[in-house]
Structure 1
Amino acid sequence: MSAEHDSGGSLTRQPMAVWAVAFACVVAFMGIGLVDPILPVIADALDASEVQTELLFTSYLVVTGLAMLVTSFISSRIGAKRTLLWGLALIVAFSLLCALSVAVDVVIGFRAGWGLGNALFISTALATIVGATTGGSGAAIVLYEAALGLGMAVGPLLGGILGEASWRAPFFGVAVLMAIAFVAILVLLRSPAERPSPIPLAAPIRALRRPALGVLAATAVFYNIAFFVLLAYSPFPLGFGAIGIGLTFFGWGLALAVTSIWGAPLLLRFMRRTTVLLVVLPLLAADLAVAGVVVSTPSALVTCIVVGGLLLGICNTVLTESVMEATDLPRQVASSSYSAVRFLGGAAAPPIAAALGHALGDTAPYLFAASSALVATLVLLLGRRALGTVDARVADELEEAAAIGAGDAA
């Protein structure tokens, strides 16, 4: 097996700059799940409805998604390091402003500003890690998705612990951690001697015309609806306090990280990328449907949430690898294009889920999420012919591994 899917030795032996960016990624992804355990607390403290509190996700994700379309344009002109630093600085500023806010509408607005910083950072971070990691793009993507999983795990836990003191405390906590990440990247990440060629402003939009990237982006829209219904709506039917919600999603995030690091590479030793997705997406739909049935039983719902984390970790890694391998586009363009659509799909999910829950009961949002996962499966199945390059590269690696094994046996 080539280093493309080596999640062992090559993954751990990386330059310090890679670890600095990876640490910052962990903190950046903490920001997504940070508000999860304090949603009910914010609703009580600021006299907000469930739909209003879910807009804390939506404003963040909408701006993140839209801004992703221009991040490659910006970073190709000012450089990856400056783009990362500007993104981190904006996150620090807007997380502090969230902590100091006195009304839910103001917090929603500042979360939008936070999303701008997040967009500048995340799309550039993926391209930076892929470019700097030793061991091939597969090792880089596993490391990136592991950072995502750990951030998703630690974010709710930190939010739950600090949220016991005040709903403002988690926002202050993220500001401090992001300031540390800012210093780490400033000191450890060197700017390349040559700046990449300027990327046209419309490049990420034009990239979606590529059949392979278009199919993967459309799949990601519906997949991320399922993802964010599970993440954003579940705190309400669980009925736990901030610590209980934080611990639940800590387990979910750890499950996501485990399968990102080990589960996805293991499956890819035996199956093509599209086959893995066509197996795991229906399993995710089934898990969400079961969550809708058992939603009134907290222990059963927690189990479904953690199982969902296991399945989401596999999908995240395989989808991201597929995007990086699907075209010959610059990594920044492919990452920006795919990530924009991915986050915009997720942005619609939280308020729709809250509205469905309010109108039809807690089962409805999970059935909506399960249906979205099935639509993602259908999109991928219908567009599979466009993904021949993605699957062919995995097949080449498997043939290489078999040849090496035969040579060793001889």
Structure 2
Amino acid sequence: MKQKGAAWALIATSVPMFMVAIDNLVVTNALTTIADDLGTRQAGLQWVVNAYVLAFAGLLLAGAALGDRIGRRRVFLWGIGLFTAASAACALADSVGALVAARVVQGAGAAAVLPVSLTLAVASVGAARRPLAVGVWGGVNGLGIALGPMAGGLVTQGLDWHWIFGINVPIGLLALPLARWAIAESKGAPRPLDVPGSPW
């Protein structure tokens, strides 16, 4: 598959990566509202945050390794699809247990998106522009993390806490065909996957 253009490839890698970055902390300012709506206490609220972070951090290296072996674009697309479906489940959750379970799946999808997004972004440009691609990737990632709490608070106040997750669904549905069209497939060195050595 031929690359469609560096600019399109950077956009196609940045949009999903921004989604997963912002969801690290998007629930922070919505926790009180979630607690009142779902009838949970502090322990449940902690898992709403930690379920995402733990799944994301625990599977991050596995996502990168899987991309090297079966195709980074393929893993990236799987990650976007999983994250989008889990976001819909979060938006529809009517109990803290359902929300926590959906957040775990969201974290797993994010772990497939984030590590390969950098490799795909760098591969989309020539050697001279690789520092620019890394800068764009880092800037978008940092912006997502910084805006997470503010975005969560604004959406919760203006609409409803369910929308902090629901807004990911149309974005993800647009990001999937864009990534499929704009990004070329790539793989790393053919090495066996160390499943027992994975953090999870």
TM-based fold match above 0.5: yes
Amino acid at match of 2:139: A
Q: CA distance change for structure 1 residues 62 and 22 in 2, over 3 Å: closer, same or farther?
A: same
Does structure 1 residue 23 correspond to structure 2 residue 8?
Answer: no
Match in the other structure for 1:291: none
- Please give the alpha-carbon distance, in whole angstroms, between the structure 2 residues aligned to 1:181 and 1:155: 19
- Please give the alpha-carbon distance, in whole angstroms, between the structure 2 residues aligned to 1:202 and 1:68: 14
Cα displacement (A) at 1:172? 0.6
Match in the other structure for 2:80: 88
Unaligned ranges ≥5, structure 1 = 1-12, 206-336, 345-410
Match in the other structure for 1:146: 139
- Please give the alpha-carbon distance, in whole angstroms, between the structure 2 residues aligned to 1:115 and 1:199: 25
Match in the other structure for 1:175: 169
Does structure 1 residue 58 correspond to structure 2 residue 67?
Answer: no
Structure showing greater radius of gyration is 1
Match in the other structure for 1:117: 109
Deviations, residues 153-182 of structure 1 (Å, cap 9, x unaligned): 443343223212221111111122222222
Amino acid at match of 1:146: G
- Please give the alpha-carbon distance, in whole angstroms, between the structure 2 residues aligned to 1:37 and 1:183: 32
Cα displacement (A) at 1:114? 0.6
What TM-score, normalized by structure 1, do the two folds share? 0.43
Q: CA distance change for structure 1 residues 37 and 183 in 2, over 3 Å: closer, same or farther?
A: farther
- Please give the alpha-carbon distance, in whole angstroms, between the structure 1 residues aligned to 2:175 and 2:50: 25
- Secondary structure of the 1:190 match is coil
- Please give the alpha-carbon distance, in whole angstroms, between the structure 2 residues aligned to 1:199 and 1:34: 37
- Please give the alpha-carbon distance, in whole angstroms, between the structure 1 residues aligned to 2:60 and 2:41: 29
- Secondary structure of the 2:23 match is helix
Unaligned ranges ≥5, structure 2 = none
Structure 1 contact 98–171 (Cα < 8 Å) conserved:
yes
- Please give the alpha-carbon distance, in whole angstroms, between the structure 2 residues aligned to 1:179 and 1:33: 22
Structure 1 contact 60–111 (Cα < 8 Å) conserved:
yes
- Please give the alpha-carbon distance, in whole angstroms, between the structure 1 residues aligned to 2:173 and 2:64: 23
Structure 2 contact 10–133 (Cα < 8 Å) conserved:
no
Deviations, residues 284-327 of structure 1 (Å, cap 9, x unaligned): xxxxxxxxxxxxxxxxxxxxxxxxxxxxxxxxxxxxxxxxxxxx
Does structure 1 residue 71 correspond to structure 2 residue 56?
Answer: no
- Secondary structure of the 1:201 match is coil
- Please give the alpha-carbon distance, in whole angstroms, between the structure 2 residues aligned to 1:180 and 1:151: 18
> Equivalent of 1:187, from 181, 186, 199?
181
Larger RCO (alpha carbons 8 Å, 6+ apart): 2
Match in the other structure for 2:155: 162
Structure 2 contact 91–162 (Cα < 8 Å) conserved:
yes
Amino acid at match of 2:145: M
Cα displacement (A) at 1:140? 3.0
Q: CA RMSD in A?
A: 2.6
Match in the other structure for 1:45: 37
- Please give the alpha-carbon distance, in whole angstroms, between the structure 2 residues aligned to 1:37 and 1:174: 18
> Equivalent of 2:89, from 94, 97, 100?
97
Match in the other structure for 1:355: none
Aligned pairs (5 A) from 1:4-403: 14-134=6-126, 135=128, 137-164=130-157, 165-192=159-186, 195-202=187-194
- Please give the alpha-carbon distance, in whole angstroms, between the structure 1 residues aligned to 2:142 and 2:69: 30
Question: Of Structure 1 and Structure 2, which has the larger fraction of its residues in helix?
Answer: 1
Aligned residues: 194
